[in-house]
Chain A
Amino acid sequence: MVLRGPVRTAARRFAEVVCPPGVRAGDRTDRVLGELELMLGALQPTARTAVAAVFVLIDQAARLHPRARGRRLGRLDDEAADAYLRALLARPGTAAQLAGRLKSLVVMCYYELPEARREIGYDPDPYITAVSRRRLDRYSADIRATEAGVAAPDPWQDRR
């Protein structure tokens, strides 16, 4: 799914506000949106449409927030945008729930970026390579024997 027009604008501003400030470095926001598009592609069509609508709704509903003075989220400065989303997320009810789910989805996409992972000290690939090699070094005979037995006959011996 490709985010276009007002939905993309709304999603972009939402991502800038909910993700850590590092999202603004380089092309990270675009890449978060790219990851988000892929995630939306995995949803059912009705859910995709609903997500797009919620982005636009959140953008427009900012107009009702006292500090927004009638402006939508995309037009708010960082402080006002942050205050609006804080208020929205803290309000009990469905609106907060929907906004919360979108926030989860977007920040998940952010923490998939390799540099965001590195910045928090998560670098699993060399570790996985090392422990996988150790596994093969230590247990290869047993592993080979088990793999070879996957299709071995195993009929029930007794009759009930």
Chain B
Amino acid sequence: MSPLPGLVGQADVGGDIVVDCGAVIVGSGAGGATMAAELSEAGVDVIVIEEGGYHPTESFGTNSCRALRTLYRDGGGGMAVGRPSVLFAEGRCVGGSTVVNGGMSWRTPARVLARWAAGGVTAISEPDMEPYFARAEGRHSVGLQDPGTVGRDSELFRGGAEAKGWTVLPNRRNQLHCAGTNNCTNGCPTGAKRSMLVTSVPRALSLGARLFADCRVDRVTRSGAAVTGVTGHFIRQGGRAGPRMTVRARAVIVAGGAVQTPALLARSGLRSASGTLGRNLSLHPNATVIAFFDEDVTGWQGVHQAFQVREFTPEGLLLTATNLTPPMLAGIMPGHGRELGELMADYNRVVTAGPLVSDSGTGRVRNVPGLGAQVFYRLTDSDAARVVRGVELTGQALFAAGARRLLLPFDGTPEARGPGELRRLLSRPVPKRSIQLYSIHLMGTARMNDDPRRGVTDSFGEFHGVPGLFVADASLFPGPTGINPMETVIALAMRNARQLVERRSRYAI
């Protein structure tokens, strides 16, 4: 029995299923769930197919490994292969990455929208987008933290940055009186984080949409140039393939995220004349500095991330402090055995912070038969230099806040015990392959552009040359946003859903 009306999981399914609808949506994350809610509200008969399971708020706890297994793809251990390789994480559950994300909710900067417009996307200026940002923020309760919910780790980092004279902004987050449990990445245990799980998914279902969870879409089906639906299969407990699923639909909306979407389109035999399907991957590489303080910081008491240092955004650098749970911190700590134990014994005196780099988009997703989506990424020299600079700036702020020593995200680099030493260490060239990077912002692999020679979709997400096939996720971005991307995904999905509804007669939906 499903707790939400219209939700079907693998346990509810005994045999193969064939269903009809107006629009089928692949993925229930930021893009897919938003599309589902908007189209359902307009009376479109919607089916959502989600590969991950349904995990309600009450099931979320503080066990990070359990969260990685149940809420993330591949246990959170994606890897973009390169020198260096970049670890990345994507959500895989009803609600997608929004269930495990940090809840930072920022509008696309005007300069980024202007760049996208200049590059060939229409109706994307700041005034064009304003109503969609406003709607997204209203739907997801975007605002500032209540007093008393910010942790000491965030306050220390803010204090350090302000002591340097840098601009610091309090985070805008999609939260309804967030209590500061610092459990965002394991799923919010109070429902205060207004992820898709507690907003657009129940909204769409209450407006008549149907959602099939634990079901992976294998292919988009076509007849001639027109799309006819999707085929896939349910995933049984333990990962075994279950019954087959066939959806016959007049519109197909792919919102599997910037890694899965291009892979699904490619394995469905779709090609883009632009040659950019699967290319142009940006991933906002992040690096983490581990700072040890004398005082008790107990960073897990307070919101996941409270502030952003915006001083260096013109250089494409954003600096933040984010508390990590013990397994996550242990996973990136150097050393092993006794040495690791000694470092971790200071867990409550640690602040973790680092730069996010607005990168130049040189990654690629390929669909490899038998292996699925494989990701490759080349960190450019200039992006590598910015990572190093971002680490140095982060370190300066941490020392200004009173840190005693820093562990740096470069293999083989000794710890830094003061600002002078940090400067000295980083004045030598840092080999690119020694940089430890990770990513949680994947974007750009089916970019929009009105010119079919330059983009995979038009300005409203419709695949060039395949009427009725749409992309509605972070793949659409022509380039990196330089800030947290979720609100951009949601606002674009609202805008594109509205366009689709206005043209619904073309698709008979």
Instruction: Give me the interface of A with B, judged by CB distance under 8 Å.
Output: 17-22, 35, 38-39, 41-47, 82, 85-86, 89-90, 92, 97, 101, 103-105, 107-112, 116-117, 119-122, 124-125, 127-128, 131-132, 134-135, 138-139, 142-143, 146, 150-151, 153-156, 160
Given A112-B64, A132-B189, A153-B41, the answer on whether A117 and B326 have CB atoms closer than 8 Å is yes
Within 8 A of A (CB), among B55-111: 62-66, 68-70, 72, 74-75, 77, 85
Considering only CB atoms, which chain B residue lies closest to A138 in the complex? B177
A122 near B181: Cβ-Cβ < 8 Å: no
Instruction: Give me the interface of B with A, judged by CB distance under 8 Å.
Output: 41-42, 62-66, 68-70, 72, 74-75, 77, 85, 135, 139, 141, 146, 149, 176-183, 189-190, 192, 198-199, 202-203, 206-207, 238-239, 298, 300-301, 325-333, 336-338, 340-341, 344-345, 347-348, 370-372, 411-412, 433, 498, 502
**Which chain B positions have C-beta within 8 A of A103?**
336
- Closest 9 CB pairs between A and B? A20-B341, A151-B206, A108-B327, A42-B75, A111-B326, A131-B179, A42-B69, A120-B347, A104-B331
Once the chains are docked, how many angstroms separate the CA of A19 from the CA of B363?
Answer: 34
Once the chains are docked, how many angstroms separate the CA of A22 from the CA of B338?
Answer: 9
Shortest distance between the CB of B309 and any CB in chain A (Å): 26
Once the chains are docked, how many angstroms separate the CA of A43 from the CA of B328?
Answer: 18
B74 near A128: Cβ-Cβ < 8 Å: no
Once the chains are docked, how many angstroms separate the CA of A52 from the CA of B53?
Answer: 27
User: Of the candidates B183, B206, B348, B371, which one forms a contact with A120 in the assembled complex, judged by CB atoms under 8 Å apart?
Assistant: B348
A125 near B192: Cβ-Cβ < 8 Å: no
B371 near A46: Cβ-Cβ < 8 Å: yes
A112 near B63: Cβ-Cβ < 8 Å: yes
A155 near B74: Cβ-Cβ < 8 Å: no
Shortest distance between the CB of B24 and any CB in chain A (Å): 22
B179 near A20: Cβ-Cβ < 8 Å: no
Once the chains are docked, how many angstroms separate the CA of A26 from the CA of B290?
Answer: 31
A125 near B199: Cβ-Cβ < 8 Å: no
**Which chain A positions have C-beta within 8 A of B189?**
128, 132
Shortest distance between the CB of A8 and any CB in chain B (Å): 19
B74 near A150: Cβ-Cβ < 8 Å: no
A156 near B337: Cβ-Cβ < 8 Å: no
Once the chains are docked, how many angstroms separate the CA of A160 from the CA of B199?
Answer: 26
**Which chain B positions have C-beta within 8 A of A160?**
498, 502
Given A85-B336, A89-B336, the answer on whether A150 and B198 have CB atoms closer than 8 Å is yes
User: Of the candidates B74, B177, B238, B344, which one forms a contact with A142 in the assembled complex, judged by CB atoms under 8 Å apart?
Assistant: B177
**Which chain B positions have C-beta within 8 A of A20?**
337-338, 340-341, 344
Once the chains are docked, how many angstroms separate the CA of A22 from the CA of B340?
Answer: 11
User: Of the candidates B75, B330, B336, which one forms a contact with A43 in the assembled complex, judged by CB atoms under 8 Å apart?
Assistant: B75
Once the chains are docked, how many angstroms separate the CA of A47 from the CA of B69?
Answer: 14
Given A35-B65, A42-B69, A46-B371, the answer on whether A17 and B198 have CB atoms closer than 8 Å is no
**Which chain A positions have C-beta within 8 A of B332?**
104
Considering only CB atoms, which chain A residue lies closest to B200 in the complex? A150
Q: How many A-B residue pairs have CB under 8 A?
A: 161
B177 near A143: Cβ-Cβ < 8 Å: yes
User: Of the candidates B177, B336, B412, which one forms a contact with A135 in the assembled complex, judged by CB atoms under 8 Å apart?
Assistant: B177
A134 near B179: Cβ-Cβ < 8 Å: yes
Once the chains are docked, how many angstroms separate the CA of A94 from the CA of B300?
Answer: 34
Additional pairs, 8, CB under 8 Å, beyond known A18-B336, A151-B207: A20-B337, A42-B68, A43-B74, A101-B77, A107-B327, A112-B326, A134-B179, A160-B502
B202 near A151: Cβ-Cβ < 8 Å: yes
> Can you list 14 pairs linking A and B with CB atoms under 8 Å apart?
A17-B336, A20-B344, A22-B341, A43-B74, A97-B85, A105-B77, A107-B330, A107-B336, A109-B327, A111-B327, A124-B182, A150-B198, A151-B202, A155-B41
Considering only CB atoms, which chain A residue lies closest to B345 in the complex? A120
**Which chain B positions have C-beta within 8 A of A35?**
65
Considering only CB atoms, which chain B residue lies closest to A124 in the complex? B62
Once the chains are docked, how many angstroms separate the CA of A109 from the CA of B330?
Answer: 9
User: Of the candidates A104, A107, A116, A132, which one forms a contact with B190 in the assembled complex, judged by CB atoms under 8 Å apart?
Assistant: A132
Most chain A CB within 10 A, of B139, B332, B337, B345, is at B337
Given A43-B74, A107-B336, A128-B181, the answer on whether A142 and B176 have CB atoms closer than 8 Å is yes
**Which chain A positions have C-beta within 8 A of B340?**
18-20, 107
**Which chain B positions have C-beta within 8 A of A43?**
74-75, 77
Once the chains are docked, how many angstroms separate the CA of A45 from the CA of B235?
Answer: 14
Given A44-B372, A122-B300, the answer on whether A17 and B179 have CB atoms closer than 8 Å is no
**Which chain A positions have C-beta within 8 A of B337?**
17-21, 82, 85
Once the chains are docked, how many angstroms separate the CA of A121 from the CA of B344?
Answer: 10
Once the chains are docked, how many angstroms separate the CA of A105 from the CA of B64?
Answer: 12
Once the chains are docked, how many angstroms separate the CA of A117 from the CA of B298?
Answer: 13
**Which chain A positions have C-beta within 8 A of B328?**
108
Considering only CB atoms, which chain A residue lies closest to B149 in the complex? A131
Shortest distance between the CB of B506 and any CB in chain A (Å): 16
Considering only CB atoms, which chain B residue lies closest to A101 in the complex? B77
Once the chains are docked, how many angstroms separate the CA of A111 from the CA of B327?
Answer: 5
Shortest distance between the CB of A75 and any CB in chain B (Å): 18
Considering only CB atoms, which chain A residue lies closest to B370 in the complex? A46
**Which chain B positions have C-beta within 8 A of A105?**
77, 331
**Which chain A positions have C-beta within 8 A of B344?**
20, 111, 120
**Which chain B positions have C-beta within 8 A of A153?**
41
B336 near A116: Cβ-Cβ < 8 Å: no
**Which chain A positions have C-beta within 8 A of B338?**
20-21
**Which chain A positions have C-beta within 8 A of B146?**
138-139
**Which chain A positions have C-beta within 8 A of B502?**
160
B347 near A38: Cβ-Cβ < 8 Å: no
Considering only CB atoms, which chain A residue lies closest to B342 in the complex? A20
**Which chain A positions have C-beta within 8 A of B326?**
111-112, 116-117, 120, 122
Once the chains are docked, how many angstroms separate the CA of A127 from the CA of B348?
Answer: 14
B327 near A112: Cβ-Cβ < 8 Å: yes
Once the chains are docked, how many angstroms separate the CA of A78 from the CA of B192?
Answer: 47
A156 near B177: Cβ-Cβ < 8 Å: no
**Which chain A positions have C-beta within 8 A of B206?**
150-151
Once the chains are docked, how many angstroms separate the CA of A108 from the CA of B372?
Answer: 26
